[in-house]
């Protein structure tokens, strides 16, 4: 399971290095901050290049935390149902 996640992150990082990655960033403007995994990749790139702002970091953290809590909440509600537990 962990290898699937690492493979996905590696593909996302490679896309960032390719010209299509910069095209995505230019076409989305600053809206890429609201896409959970992509925003972390672009933020890491900005931090390495020292071209980040505090607002980018705050928005990235907020979006990622909201998505994580949303997924945790949905998963806990799903497993709260006894039909899921028995199948």
In sequence order, the 6+-apart residues with CB closer than 8 A to the CB of 34 are 59, 63
Half-sphere exposure (Cβ direction) of 76: Cα atoms closer than 13 Å: 6
pLDDT tens, the chain, 87 aa long: 567 767 777 776 666 666 655 666 666 667 777 878 778 877 877 787 788 888 888 988 999 999 999 999 988 888 776 665 565
- Can you tell me the distance from the alpha carbon of 27 to that of 4, in angstroms, rounded to the nearest whole number? 28
Res 50: pLDDT: 83
pTM of the predicted model, to two decimals? 0.64
The helix (run of H) or strand (run of E) holding residue 32 is none
């Amino acid at each position: 399971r962990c290898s699937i996640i690492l493979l996905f992150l590696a593909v996302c990082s490679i896309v960032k290095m390719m010209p299509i990655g910069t095209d995505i960033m230019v076409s989305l403007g600053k809206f890429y901050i609201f896409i959970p995994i992509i925003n972390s990749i672009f933020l890491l790139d900005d931090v390495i290049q020292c071209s980040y702002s505090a607002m980018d970091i705050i928005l990235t953290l907020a979006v990622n935390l909201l998505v994580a809590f949303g997924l945790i909440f949905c998963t806990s509600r799903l497993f709260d149902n006894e039909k899921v537990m028995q199948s």
